[in-house]
Structure 1
């Protein structure tokens, strides 16, 4: 199978999985409206989806470093969809937490192995990895629309219909897995290369991703409520803000991979985080419909670094690609879900604006961390389409 075809299928499958990550936040307003949850209780649902995922994803990454498990792609896709499909069927808060946690485990199992397979299929190309990441962003963007179309018409009892993307995504994985078997590229060393690990830079990168995660998950949990309040609109105004937040991620991912063809990745990511500081400040403090502009700018600023951080992590830990993918796509990203209940408690005690204001500091901290990072040197054995891959500051 041609490389481009494999990346397209992986990107489409990625969209089908990440639609469930986006669905958790998209379902929160409906849980609040139908079950009268508080902000803190609603953010606990996001926490349930993130908690097990944050622990499980690096573990799955370590497992894929030892042995390739491409069969995880269709299995984890089904698991992610099944959890969301069942989440609206029970009025029990405990069962709702359990089902979204099951979905989180499915997402956790998917990302490290899919990132390994994508790296193998892309031969290390930043642009191809950008297209793979774009699929996840598209899934996020479609989540509020899909949830609104299904749940707004029939209530939470219609959530079983949300399993359909999982069925599609699992089927899309199959041609890629067959191509891997034919090429013999599914072994444990597939997609990895020899090299010295730069653990110190990887830790700094991971801390920056934590700061990004806190900002993004905090906003994805509460931006629907905040936009509805600041614009005087209802649920539709909130769903529109969430859609803009996720759609801006798709734009940011493509922009980041394109900019990486002109400048080194560290420079691109550093500039993106600096822009995000002002964008988040505008989102929090500027009233009226212009909030949608700042939501879009915030999303773009947070997602320009997304796929570049994954390839940077893999280049900082070239001997443990699965672990690097699991940490950057899982553990550090899921930390935002652990912080969101705290944001909810502050919002219950004060106001949403007060609770969201500290998020302005997070991209500023990420900017400071990236200013100290080197651009890792990439050996000639690793193919790159972009000239900047071996340029910039040497590691």
Structure 2
């Protein structure tokens, strides 16, 4: 029961942190129209939120493998919300850029430690455990556009102040839970050093294959979350609020897909879930820009969200399994370098949208879906010893004797 409590805690903190990531793309149509910024400049705010993450997350993940800092989860949630809350009160583009960068740093502080604690709390069911953690981010992404749309519609751009409320609340909850979180980390360290099972050897080659695929996937994911509202508003001519609301549908289906994907990974295998999802994604992404009918385009968002997000928890859990001795580092790389690079590529896709139109921008996103599928096909299945080390006990005192086959000769 204790481990379930910490799984819920990390999920809740993930919700409060990623509300801000989900809200930022929904703010873009308002900023484009009221601050008179270009598509590329709007996508540059996504770059601001993620560029610092690509450096900070692996660093804190590396340190997290050596010392437990669960308070970083609370600090990260606070900075993520506080930075975004400032956006509506600023006038110049570069001051908005700086505030969004602070929010991105907060997100970067949370994810490595949050991913490490979620892994510890998951026990033997890593797929389902990481899915619970990941779905917190999905819920945050789903709530973010709703909160942004309602707040800005009723209060104007200064409505961004509402993002400070969950930030402060979650920071207080983490602060109150530090004692239990520290005990969880201590129990895990004692289990590793006192057990009779040999620690699995880190498989860097396989881990980097997973990370490469996750990086390419992040370009598709950020491309969709950045340009779905703009595409529906500019190409399909939906009102601003309705266009932003399409991102909520996509995010809700993302949460459903993540939970289903974690369960499926534990049952059918991580590699199969990863490959199957991305093979299914490619034709959907190639068809989407051809759709001119609004209801059909909205309907197509559902299978797209399922296809791209079902493999997510499986990829993160598999990467952590390949790096079982450095879970913080692997979490930092996957949530930092691999995931944040998608946001860094977004301005390039925005440039395509400015120069050639948003339809061509969506085709650019689709091209990364093809690349993601090809990289997924290179991911190996986990060696049995990595998938479940408990199936291969090793006696620390004596070497395992070779079997005696004399009687069978």
TM-score between the two structures when normalised by the length of structure 1: 0.92
- Matched positions, count: 383
Q: Distance in 1 between matches of 2:184 and 2:219?
A: 40
- Give the secondary-structure state (helix, strand or coil) at the position aligned to 2:89: coil
In structure 2, what is the equivalent of residue 78 of structure 1? 78
Q: Is the 8 A contact 1:54 1:334 kept in 2?
A: yes
| 1:361 and 2:370 aligned | no
Residue 60 (str. 1) matches residue 65 (str. 2): no
Gaps of 5+ in 2: 392-409
Which residue of 1 is the match for residue 172 of structure 2? Answer: 171
The yes-or-no answer on 1:310 pairing with 2:316 is: yes
1:196 has 2:168 as partner: no
- Answer yes or no: is the 8 Å Cα contact 2:3–2:122 preserved in 1: yes
Deviation track 1:99-130 (CA, whole Å, cap 9, x = no partner) reads 11001001001000011111111114221221
Please, which of 215, 219, 223 is the counterpart of residue 224 of structure 2? 219
Contact 2:235 2:358 (C-alpha < 8 Å) held by counterparts: no
Question: What aligned pairs does 1:362-377 form with structure 2 within 5 A after superposition?
Answer: 362-376=368-382, 377=384
The residue aligned with 2:92 is 92
Q: Which one of 235, 245, 252 corresponds to residue 247 of structure 1?
A: 252
Preserved CA contact (<8 Å) 1:280 1:294:
no
- Give the superposition deviation at 1:167: 1.9
Counterpart-to-counterpart distance in 2, 1:189 and 1:348? 56
Instruction: Tell me which residue corresponds to 2:302.
Output: 296
Deviation of 1:262 after TM superposition, in Å, equals 2.6
Segment drifting more, 108-117 vs 126-135 = 126-135
Q: Which residue of 1 aligns with 2:134?
A: 133
Aligned counterparts of 1:190 and 1:279: Cα–Cα separation in 2: 45
**Contact (CA 8 Å) 2:200, 2:389: kept in 1 or not?**
no
> Are the counterparts in 2 of residues 68 and 188 from structure 1 also a CA contact under 8 Å?
no
Post-superposition Cα deviations, 1:140-190, rounded to whole Å, max 9, x if no partner, equal 001000001111212112222211111222233345433233456378788
Partner of 2:9: 9
- Conserved? CA contact 1:6–1:176, under 8 Å: no
Extract structure 1 runs of 4+ deviating beyond 3 A. Answer: 181-184, 186-193, 379-382
Find the counterpart in structure 2 of residue 48 from structure 1: 48
Structure 2: how far apart are the matches of 1:196 and 1:67? 21
RMSD: 2.1
Whether 2:384 is the aligned partner of 1:379: answer no
Q: Deviations over 1:223-266 (max 9, x none)?
A: 10111234332112311221122112101101101212331110
Give distance in 1, aligned partners of 2:323 and 2:183. Answer: 28
- 2:108 aligns with 108
Higher mean C-alpha deviation, range 126-135 or range 230-239: 230-239
Aligned counterpart, 1:185: 186
For residues 256 and 189 of structure 1, what CA distance do their matches in structure 2 show?
A: 31
Contact 1:117 1:191 in 2 (8 A): no
SS at match of 2:158: helix
**Separation in structure 1 between the aligned mates of residue 25 and residue 333 of structure 2, nearest angstrom:** 22
Say which of 314, 331, 335 aligns to 1:329: 335
User: In the TM superposition, what is the alpha-carbon distance from 1:221 to its structure 2 partner?
Assistant: 1.0
SS in 2 for 1:151: helix
Q: Residue 287 of structure 1: CA displacement? A: 1.6
Moved more, 267-276 or 287-296: 287-296
Query: For residues 191 and 109 of structure 2, what CA distance do their matches in structure 1 show?
Result: 18
Matched, 1:119 2:119: yes
Contact 1:62 1:322 in 2 (8 A): yes
